[in-house]
Amino acid sequence: MKRLALIVALIVVVALVGTALVDETRAPTTDLRFEISFPASVHDRPLTGRMFLAFASSDQAEPRLQVGRYGVPFFGVDFEDLRPGEAVIIDGLTLGYPFDSLGDLPPGEYHVQAVLSKYTRFERADGHTVWMHMDQWEGQNWRRSPGNLTSAVMRLNPAQGGTIRIETTNEILPIEPPADTEWVKRIKIQSDILTEFWGHPIYIGATILLPRGYDAHPDAAYPTVYHHGHFSLRPPLRFQQGNALYNAWTGDDFPRFVAVTIQHPTPYFDDSYAVNSVNNGPYGDAIHKELIPEIERQFRVIAEPYARVLTGGSTGGWEAFALQVFYPDFYGGTWAFAPDPLDFRNVEGINIYEDENAFYKQYEWHRAPITNTRDHETGAVRLTSKQRNTMELVNGTLGRSGQQLDIWSAVFGPVGDDGYFKPLFDKRTGVMDPQVAEYWKENYDLRYILERDWATLGPKLVGKLHVICGRMDNFFLNFGVYHMEDFLESTTDPYYGGSFTYGPRGGHGWRPYGYDELLRIMADHITENAPPGANTERWKY
């Protein structure tokens, strides 16, 4: 679910120009003003996108690379048809994160850098035209996306005031994918299904981890474990020389699998959530009708439901559970770790069905801020819902932040009149939209869907649903798991026959075992559910 580094975020307020949210009623707190442009030498045509300005107190990395991870102050401004040499303005009236204004920055020397994030015009098949950032196989991250423009890092003290002119003269270079090895292979294809939806070439891919003896036994076929999560080109299951999985995977007495991680970034996020949605597009179809068939064509896997299993954590945990529910005849079991909300009565603290405001709980005569993120050891508030959402807004308007609440709205929500998703709540006021909440419920509340459709889904899911979660999940995801368990444990005709495992004080990353033990559990499950005559001994060891 999370890019965990963002837990450190503090309060955020919005800085925009054009479509802007600026407080024109207050006086500027500084005469410091930045005029940021790009020269014709790096791009000779007008650009539409968003300009960022980051301030860092250290030089441990470029300021842009410290945004989010280190919580450094930054500001963002939308621009349209900006010509070479024209300036985007950030000044004392521009709001930012975590300070209201440039004038609120503490005194001292800063390392300062601008980033121009380019947007692409998408003429979608649904008739809407939208401007969004096109992922360049970096995982929807404006800080490091190839083609974006950056300035040189400069040093200044905001107290000096005046006008500072900055040019974004450096283009971020393409990312070279890791080379294939004996164990790890990669494929990347253009999806015809998604290209048609977005009106622009869209790519999906996979990283494949092969079992020991794959080349030595050309007649052998293997079960597949699909490992879901955020965009990554690293090997599946955190396979790395010297760790426990590597030692087990390359050893003698270990089940033989083909493990797969899928890459499916979207214009909204680094990950599509692997399902069809009206805003993101038909990613579920693309994965199951284009990508997986290609994987099964190129690699020797057992292309049968009993031999396809799922796992993942956080975002990947929701995907691993949702795909088993939405494609019950395609997969043979799921082990979902700390999944994103399986029930929408607690979406990072927000009850989308009862709360009237996404930022505050109303308790008779008083209201209290909704907590978005907590410390799993102390329970202390790390981030409120309002802070999280305003942080997203400074990263991008119209749901283009590339952050968590925005991608949930893009996946779970309906399309708005402007072609971007219709939000569950107003990011400035927190006011909820009950009609959007109802859309979320009917289409993506997995607990509700299972209860509604158990008569038809239940017989296909017996023994396949397994969830693992800490009871002190940093993002309150354990509450969705509780609601799911309450329903599934109540099932009859048939009883679900799966499992729930909890860590009493476990946070978001809690796991009771490593991937080596998980794969042994999966191997036993596949063996028990294999059809009569299946040769499981050939791949088990």
Give the pLDDT confidence of 392-450 residue by residue, as tens digits: 998 999 999 999 999 999 999 999 999 999 999 999 999 999 999 999 999 999 999 99
Structure tokens at 308: 């396809």
pLDDT beyond 80 at 17: no
The pLDDT, as a whole number, for residue 120 is 98
| Chosen domain end from 112, 144, 171 | 171
Q: Using one digit for the tens of pLDDT, what is the confidence trace for 492-528?
A: 999 999 999 999 999 999 999 999 999 999 999 999 9
- The residue type of 486 is D
- The residue type of 349 is G
- The residue type of 131 is W
| CA atoms of 536 and 213, how far apart (whole Å) | 16
Structure tokens at 468: 């693992």
| Chosen domain end from 397, 422, 443 | 443
- DSSP calls for 425-462: B-TTT-BB-HHHHHHHHHHH-HHHHHHHHHHHHHHHHT
Query: 351 lies in a domain?
Result: no
Q: Are 484 and 517 in contact (CB under 8 A)?
A: no
| CA atoms of 484 and 438, how far apart (whole Å) | 18
Query: 30 lies in a domain?
Result: yes
Q: Using one digit for the tens of pLDDT, what is the confidence trace for 305-317?
A: 999 999 999 999 9
How sure is the predictor about 538, in pLDDT bands with cuts at 50, 70 and 90? Answer: low
| CA atoms of 139 and 134, how far apart (whole Å) | 10
Same domain, 204 and 334: yes
Same domain, 155 and 56: yes
Q: Are 294 and 189 in contact (CB under 8 A)?
A: yes
Same domain, 50 and 96: yes
Query: 100 lies in a domain?
Result: yes
Same domain, 339 and 381: no
Number of domains in the chain: 3
How sure is the predictor about 11, in pLDDT bands with cuts at 50, 70 and 90? Answer: very low
How sure is the predictor about 534, in pLDDT bands with cuts at 50, 70 and 90? Answer: confident
- The mean per-residue pLDDT over the stretch 109-125 comes to 98
What are the beta bridge partners of residue 225? Answer: 259, 309
| CA atoms of 162 and 20, how far apart (whole Å) | 23
Q: Are 258 and 211 in contact (CB under 8 A)?
A: yes
| Chosen domain end from 145, 171, 197 | 171
How sure is the predictor about 236, in pLDDT bands with cuts at 50, 70 and 90? Answer: very high
Query: 176 lies in a domain?
Result: no
Residues ≥6 apart with Cβ < 8 Å to 481? 339, 342, 467, 469, 500
The pLDDT, as a whole number, for residue 144 is 97
- The residue type of 381 is V
The pLDDT, as a whole number, for residue 12 is 32
The pLDDT, as a whole number, for residue 13 is 30
The pLDDT, as a whole number, for residue 71 is 79
Same domain, 330 and 457: yes
| CA atoms of 287 and 106, how far apart (whole Å) | 49
- The residue type of 416 is G
State what percent of residues in the chain have pLDDT above 70: 94
Same domain, 212 and 333: yes
pLDDT beyond 70 at 26: no
Same domain, 72 and 109: yes
State what percent of residues in the chain have pLDDT above 90: 86
Q: Are 268 and 400 in contact (CB under 8 A)?
A: yes
Same domain, 366 and 398: yes
Q: Residue 334: what are its φ and ψ, rounded to 5°?
A: -135, 145
Q: Are 274 and 264 in contact (CB under 8 A)?
A: yes
Q: Using one digit for the tens of pLDDT, what is the confidence trace for 473-494?
A: 999 999 999 999 999 999 999 9
How sure is the predictor about 80, in pLDDT bands with cuts at 50, 70 and 90? Answer: very high
The pLDDT, as a whole number, for residue 46 is 98
How sure is the predictor about 100, in pLDDT bands with cuts at 50, 70 and 90? Answer: confident
The pLDDT, as a whole number, for residue 160 is 87
Structure tokens at 72: 């450094």
Same domain, 470 and 433: no
Structural domain including 263 reads: 184-344+446-540
What are the beta bridge partners of residue 76? Answer: 52
pLDDT beyond 50 at 375: yes
Give residue for tokens 């400074």: 394
Same domain, 257 and 309: yes
Query: 177 lies in a domain?
Result: no
